[in-house]
Amino acid sequence: MADTGWPGCAKSLKGVILDMCGVLYDSGEGDGVAIHGSVEAVKKLKASDLQLRFCTNETQASRETFVAKLQRLGFDISVSEVFSPAPAAVAVLKDRCLRPHLLVYDGLLPEFDSVDKTNPNCVVIGDAAEKFSYQNLNDAFRVLIGLEKPVLFSLGQGRYYKETDGLKLDVGVYMKALEYACDLKAEVIGKPSPTFFQSVLNDMGLQPHEALMIGDDLVNDVGGAQHCGMKGVQVRTGKYRPSDEKHPTVTADGTCGQPGSGCGHDPQSEALSTP
């Protein structure tokens, strides 16, 4: 691992925040597959003095369903440790008396059960995947273009993620599509929103410099955490691409993984054992 910033970080470190998809597991058919070393890494962290939280932009399933899947993959994890965009969105909708038109994966709908969805005055999009049909995107567009002050919430702004059968377009791509169609700027709920990271820090009772974020998404995980004053480490799994290490605006505090990188063979154990 590159040691930039590590000595200083390791001393004050009191908590670790882990991204999930691409770090703990690769999604795909069925439950997907755990990434080599990740189950053990979580186990080690739980046995350490460090606090641990999981922070995901996962919006294809409710937290209950999602956590059950991770448990089946062998992870020691509970719902109360997981932060995801949908509950944060529900809080914002209720606070601002907004009634959403939802363009989300069916599995996420239960998270919005308590929200009034009649006569929509905003649109919420998540990682709807196959539900991002032309018809569905057009329906969301028509709701927005018919509003005097269109409001679009995007649950994350990722470009793409990796499933077992290859890269898949993420919600950010459709956020940009609707932004252009309606000439508006979406409000992002989830990583890299500072509000979202701060809610995780608050739950741990930590200051930003006491926490470390580990993710596979350079911009949303690493850059987002750094923007909040945390350290950010990228793992060479999931959506990691070699060009990330020459990114024009975001430089990770550390990068872990893969043979030949000088970082050993097990990115997950390595990332988590270094501090």
Q: Using CB under 8 A as the criterion, which residues of the chain lie in contact with its own copies when the complex forms? A: 128-135, 137-138, 141-142, 145, 159-160, 166-169, 172-174, 176-183
The Cβ of residue 96 has, within 10 Å, a number of other Cβ atoms equal to: 10
CB of 101 to its own copies, least distance (A): 15
Q: Do 38 and 272 meet the contact criterion of CB atoms below 8 Å apart?
A: no
Report the nearest approach of its own copies to the CB of residue 13 (Å).
32
Instruction: Give the helix ranges, DSSP H, for the chain.
Output: 6-12, 38-47, 63-72, 85-95, 134-145, 171-182, 194-204, 224-227, 267-273
- The whole-angstrom distance between residue 120's C-alpha and the CA centroid of its chain comes to 26
Q: Is 72 or 142 the residue whose CB approaches its own copies more closely?
A: 142
Residue closer to its own copies by CB (options 40, 163) is 163
Distance in Å, CB of 142 to its own copies, minimum = 6
Please, which residue, 128 or 222, has the CB nearer to its own copies? Answer: 128
Smallest distance, its own copies to C-beta of residue 132, A: 4
d(CA 232, CA 229): 9
- 69 vs 239, which CB is nearer to its own copies? 239
Residue 18 or 137: the one with the smaller Cβ distance to its own copies is 137
The count of residues in the chain is: 275
The percent helix, strand, coil of the chain (3-state, each to 5) is: 40, 20, 40
131 vs 209, beta carbon nearer its own copies: 131
Shortest spacing between CB 179 and its own copies, in angstroms: 8
Closest CB 216 distance from its own copies, rounded Å = 16
Question: Which pairs with CB-CB distance under 8 Å and at least 24 residues apart come from 138-146?
Answer: 139/101, 139/103, 140/101, 140/103, 140/178, 141/178, 141/181, 141/182, 143/101, 144/178, 144/181, 144/182, 144/184, 145/181, 145/182
User: Distance between CA 193 and CA 191 in Å, rounded?
Assistant: 5
Which CB sits closer to its own copies, 37 or 192?
192
Least distance CB 231 / its own copies (angstroms): 25
Side chain identity at residue 219, one-letter code: V
Q: Which is nearer to its own copies, 179 or 203 (CB)?
A: 179
Beta bridge partners of 103: 125
Cβ(62)–Cβ(126) under 8 Å? no
CB of 243 to its own copies, least distance (A): 9
| C-alpha dihedral, 109 to 113 to 119 to 124, nearest 10° | -40
